C-alpha cells in the first residue's frame, strides 16, 4: 500500500494500468489498495475516467536523507515509521532493547498517540509531526529540572522561524497561538533519575492539519498560521538544531538560566488561573516560574510554587 502511495505522492494523475505495472499487480488490485488508502489513512483520491487517479494534494513524506541534508550540527540517528502506536512508546521499547542514545523516533501516523494526563493526541497520516528524542541523563536531578520548559522554548523558537510568530508558551508543556494549541510536549523517564536514566522527549506539532473533528480542544496548525504548507523534513532538521542548542545550555547552566526568557514567553503571565491536581483546584495569579521550573502562583496574597507531572492549568472565567 505504501509503494502505491509513493507513486501517487507527486499529486499528478496516474493511470490504473501504469500503477499496476509499476506494482506488478492487476488493475483490480490497484483499486483495492486505493480504497485502503482512503479508508485507513483518510486520504482523498480523485478518480477521473480516462486520466486515472490523483491525490487531492501532493504528499511529502518524512525522509531521513532529506532531513540529514538540511541539518546542521550533530546528526542524531533517525528511525522513521509509517504507522506506530506512539513514538514515545517505540522510543521506550528501543531503550529497553539497548539502543544507544541520543536518537530520534518519527512516525507518519500514530494509532495511540498521547499527551499529558493520558489524553489522546490525534495523529492523522503525514500531516503533523510526531517526534520523540531519547537522551541519556547522568548527574542526577539537576539535569531534569525545568527540562520540559526548555524543550517548549526550543519548539516555540522553531515555530517562530517558520513564520508562526504569535506562538507562546503555557505552563508546563503546551505551545499556544491565541489560546489555541499548536504543539505539546510529553516527557517520560526510565531508570534512576537520581543517578543514570533515559528521558524520552515527545513533541507533537500540528503542522499541515486543516480540519479534524476528533480534537477535543481549540487548536491551530502551522499551515493555518503561516498561510502555506510547511516542509516537515525541514521542520525536523531545524527542531533538532534548536534542541541541540538549548539542551547544551541547560546541561551547562541549569534551568535558572532560562527562567526570565521563559516567563517573557508565557502567554498566561499575570492571568487568573485554576491549578488542577485530581479533584483539587487552587485559584491564584500566575507570577512566573522558579529556578527549577515550578509554577509561581500568588494564592490569597501569598506566593507559592507548584510542580508535578499531574498538574494542569486552566484560565479562570474572570481572567
**In terms of Cα–Cα distance, which of 114, 117, 109 is closest to 203?**
114
Q: Count CB atoms within 10 A of the CB of residue 296.
A: 18
110 appears as a binding residue in the annotation: yes
All cell numbers assigned to 41: 489513512
Residue 203's DSSP bridge partners are 131, 185
Q: What would the DSSP string read from start to end of 52-117?
A: EEEESS------HHHHHHT--S----EEEESSBS-HHHHHHHHHHTTPPSSEEEEES-BSS-B-GG
Q: What would the DSSP string read from start to end of 204-216?
A: EE--S----TT--
For this structure, is 49 an active site residue? no
Out of 109, 157, 170, 181, which one is annotated catalytic?
181
280 appears as a binding residue in the annotation: no
Q: Count CB atoms within 10 A of the CB of residue 317.
A: 7
Residue 81's DSSP bridge partners are 107
116 appears as a binding residue in the annotation: yes
Out of 93, 136, 314, 316, which one is annotated catalytic?
314
Out of 109, 116, 157, 232, which one is annotated catalytic?
116
All cell numbers assigned to 159: 515555530
For this structure, is 93 an active site residue? no
Residue pair 51/13 in contact (Cβ under 8 Å)? The answer is yes
181 appears as a binding residue in the annotation: yes
For this structure, is 12 an active site residue? no
Helix (H), strand (E) counts: the chain: 9, 14
Residue 103's DSSP bridge partners are 134
10/172 Cα distance (integer angstroms): 40
86 appears as a binding residue in the annotation: yes
Annotated binding-site residues for biotin read 86-88, 110, 114-116, 181
Annotated binding-site residues read 86-88, 110, 114-116, 181
Residues taking part in catalysis: 116, 181, 314
Amino acid at each position: 500500500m505504501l509503494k502505491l502511495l509513493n507513486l501517487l505522492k507527486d499529486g499528478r494523475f496516474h493511470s490504473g494500468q501504469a500503477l499496476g505495472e509499476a506494482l506488478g499487480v492487476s488493475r483490480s488490485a490497484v483499486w483495492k489498495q486505493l480504497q485502503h488508502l482512503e479508508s485507513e489513512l483518510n486520504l482523498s483520491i480523485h478518480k477521473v475516467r480516462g486520466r486515472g487517479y490523483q491525490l487531492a494534494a501532493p504528499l511529502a513524506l518524512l525522509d531521513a536523507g532529506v532531513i540529514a541534508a538540511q541539518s546542521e550540527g550533530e546528526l542524531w540517528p533517525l528511525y522513521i515509521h509509517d504507522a506506530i502506536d506512539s513514538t514515545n512508546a517505540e522510543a521506550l521499547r528501543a531503550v529497553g532493547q539497548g539502543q544507544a542514545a541520543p536518537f530520534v523516533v518519527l512516525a507518519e501516523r500514530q494509532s495511540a498517540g498521547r499527551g499529558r494526563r493520558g489524553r489522546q493526541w490525534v495523529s492523522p497520516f503525514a500531516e503533523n509531526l510526531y517526534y520523540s528524542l531519547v537522551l541519556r541523563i547522568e548527574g542526577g536531578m539537576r539535569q531534569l529540572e525545568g527540562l520540559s520548559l526548555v524543550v517548549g522554548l526550543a519548539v516555540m523558537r522553531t515555530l517562530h522561524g517558520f513564520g508562526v510568530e504569535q506562538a507562546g508558551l503555557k505552563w508546563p508543556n503546551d505551545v499556544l497561538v491565541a489560546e489555541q494549541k499548536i504543539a505539546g510536549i510529553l516527557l517520560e523517564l526510565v531508570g534512576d533519575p537520581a543517578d543514570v536514566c533515559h528521558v524520552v522527549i515527545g513533541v507533537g506539532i500540528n503542522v499541515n492539519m486543516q480540519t479534524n473533528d476528533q480534537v477535543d480542544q481549540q487548536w491551530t496548525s502551522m499551515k493555518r498560521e503561516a498561510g502555506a504548507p510547511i516542509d516537515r523534513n525541514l521542520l525536523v532538521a531545524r527542531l533538532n538544531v534548536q534542541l541541540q542548542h538549548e539542551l547544551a545550555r541547560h546541561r551547562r547552566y541549569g534551568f535558572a538560566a532560562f527562567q526570565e526568557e521563559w516567563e517573557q514567553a508565557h502567554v498566561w503571565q499575570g492571568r487568573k488561573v485554576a491549578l488542577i491536581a485530581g479533584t483539587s483546584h487552587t485559584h491564584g495569579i500566575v507570577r512566573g516560574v522558579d529556578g527549577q521550573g515550578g509554577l509561581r502562583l500568588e494564592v490569597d496574597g501569598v506566593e507559592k510554587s507548584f510542580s508535578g507531572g499531574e498538574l494542569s492549568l486552566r484560565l479562570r472565567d474572570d481572567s
